[in-house]
């Protein structure tokens, strides 16, 4: 497999065993004392051990921070800041799924600032308060193909006080280098391959549907969906297929590149439910996907027509896309309703109100009211499509 070298949207190395280039990437980035931010379940794997050994042999001073879980919290970012400062680190190497990459980027932004994390919430020009010279460089190595956080300029962090997720943003949070190495993803179990892969689909799909004008992002989104259509079922059934794993990593980076155009109600609801129930973000998007599509269907006619042609679906237009999404979810054994994830209707009003306020809501094709969010939530809860 050829090693490719890309510069959009950041510097990206793609290919089998691309992670063996990490030391030279550190040298290019002038990182001598990297803090590894790694999912604790990965820290002892052979792949990570060889990466650490290579760094030691190159006389890099390393430490590992792994005191966090899925849906990382503000408190966990604080602990990471302490580890960064105590170890006098000069860069972050974030390895793992979305949680590792998001918390790694947040630590890089905030560890050396005088402001606290929440002061960089993605509201107005908050990010301009940061001293950009104090933001540490980040090298990102995703081990799942879903979040695309490796090419994003934001992190999603849970505020445990108000039980919501907040988006932390700064343009310099974009990793300086990304390494897409399919060998790091082969051990991902099938159910997580499905959930993360469908998160990547939700990014491409919501970005494509979002009404703002960005033809480049739109073009990336439809090709991202084509790759997912071709390769997600293969990666799900044969996790060792390196071609499928590579293409899914690329589709995932494409999704996050595309969603600079906007997200929508899938993510508005998934953020809300993820913060309240601590459920997997990709799985929530996967379950919510057809219900949100149905809520937006009257505004998507022309776009779905084009998409169905590009994806060469059996049926044209919105119905063709919906049928494909439902079929793919079924093939990947994704539950059809939120109730199957243990969610109930007791907090439906609060959930709808919180989703309405979520930053992702503004990218939805139409403005959904609180009542409409509540209706979508109830359809998804009960597994009934509003056709």
Q: Which chain residues interact with Fe ion by CB under 5 A?
A: 199
379, 291 contact by CB (below 8 A):
yes
Quote the least distance from Cβ 360 to Fe ion, whole Å.
9
CB of 40 to Fe ion, least distance (A): 22
CB crowding 84-105: b at 16 or more within 10 Å, else e:
beebebbbbbbbbbbbbbbbbb
CA angle 315, 287, 106 (to 5 degrees): 120
Compute the distance between CA of residue 266 and CA of residue 249 in angstroms, rounded to an integer.
Answer: 21
d(CA 255, CA 17): 23
Q: How far is the CB of 356 from Fe ion (least distance, A)?
A: 18
Nearer to Fe ion, 150 or 199 (CB): 199
Q: Which is nearer to Fe ion, 66 or 199 (CB)?
A: 199
d(CA 270, CA 121): 18
Q: How far is the CB of 202 from Fe ion (least distance, A)?
A: 6
Q: Using CA atoms, how far apart are residues 147 and 97, in angstroms rounded to an integer?
A: 7
Strands 4-6 and 11-14: antiparallel
Pick 84 or 259: Cβ nearer Fe ion: 259
Choice between 203 and 245, CB closer to Fe ion: 203
∠ CA(361), CA(212), CA(14), 5° rounding?
90
Closer residue to Fe ion in complex, CB, 15/96: 96
In the complex, residue closest to Fe ion by CB: 199
Q: How far is the CB of 259 from Fe ion (least distance, A)?
A: 8
């Amino acid at each position: 497999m050829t090693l490719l070298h890309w510069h959009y949207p950041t510097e990206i190395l793609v290919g089998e065993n691309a992670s063996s280039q990490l030391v030279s990437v550190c040298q290019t980035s002038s990182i001598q004392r990297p803090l590894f931010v790694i999912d604790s379940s990965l820290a002892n794997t052979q792949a990570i051990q060889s990466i650490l050994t290579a760094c030691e042999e190159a006389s890099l001073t390393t430490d590992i921070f792994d005191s966090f879980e899925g849906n990382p919290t503000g408190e966990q970012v604080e602990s990471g800041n302490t580890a960064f400062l105590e170890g006098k680190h000069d860069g972050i190497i974030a390895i793992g799924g979305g949680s590792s990459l998001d918390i790694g980027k947040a630590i890089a932004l905030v560890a050396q600032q005088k402001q606290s994390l929440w002061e960089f919430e993605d509201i107005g020009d908050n990010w301009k308060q940061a001293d950009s010279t104090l933001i540490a460089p980040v090298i990102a190595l995703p081990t799942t193909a879903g979040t695309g956080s490796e090419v994003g300029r934001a992190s999603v962090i849970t505020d445990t006080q108000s039980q919501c997720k907040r988006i932390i943003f700064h343009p310099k949070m974009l990793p300086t280098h990304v390494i897409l190495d399919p060998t790091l993803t082969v051990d991902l179990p099938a159910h997580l391959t499905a959930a993360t892969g469908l998160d990547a689909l939700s990014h491409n799909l919501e970005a494509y549907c979002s009404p703002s004008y960005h033809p480049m992002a739109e073009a990336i989104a439809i090709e991202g969906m084509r790759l997912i259509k071709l390769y997600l079922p293969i990666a799900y059934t044969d996790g060792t297929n390196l071609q499928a794993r590579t293409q899914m990593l690329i589709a995932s980076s494409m999704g996050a590149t595309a969603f600079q155009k906007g997200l929508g109600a899938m993510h508005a609801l998934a953020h809300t439910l993820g913060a309240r129930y601590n459920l997997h973000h990709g799985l929530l998007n996967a379950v919510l996907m057809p219900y949100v599509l149905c809520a937006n269907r009257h505004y998507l006619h022309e776009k779905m027509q084009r998409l169905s042609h590009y994806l060469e679906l059996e049926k044209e237009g919105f119905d063709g896309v919906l049928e494909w999404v439902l079929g793919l979810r079924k093939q990947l054994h994704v539950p059809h309703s939120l109730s199957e994830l243990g969610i109930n209707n007791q907090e439906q009003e609060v959930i709808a109100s919180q989703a309405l306020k979520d930053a992702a809501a503004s990218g939805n094709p139409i403005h959904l009211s609180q009542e409409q969010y509540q209706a979508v939530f109830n359809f998804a809860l009960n597994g009934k499509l509003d056709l």
